[in-house]
Structure 1
């Protein structure tokens, strides 16, 4: 059975917002997992943190006003909260 850290890592690796590829993605986003886990009890805080990662840390071009971006982030948050 997976623990929460493995679950979140799998979600981040499958999402792979930097498009580094499956092998690299398993390690690429691990540093964010502890902070994500701390925010799992507050959906809004989790969303803000993920937006911050996407815009300030990873510089992915994420735009919260873009429906496609917002829906993708909502899907990721839903997956994280479903553990």
Structure 2
């Protein structure tokens, strides 16, 4: 859902600090989504926040789940600032 983060551990590099928000439509329940802590609706948009170094992996996962990425935008997000 909005604000979901696909984690990355490479936060010391400039690329590791860059995040992007994917707007995804068409996701459906399946083997991959059964492992998640939330349900996926067939209709509507889901927003996922993804670090730069995991963009390709997440695109492939979304495709396997039957989703379509309709928008990608950069996000100013610093996960270390939320832990303080």
The two structures share one fold, judged by TM-score above 0.5? no
Higher helix share: 1
TM bucket by the smaller chain? 0.3 to 0.5
TM-score (normalised: structure 1):
0.33
TM-score (normalised: structure 2):
0.32
Higher relative contact order (CA 8 A, sep 6+): 2
Higher strand share: 2
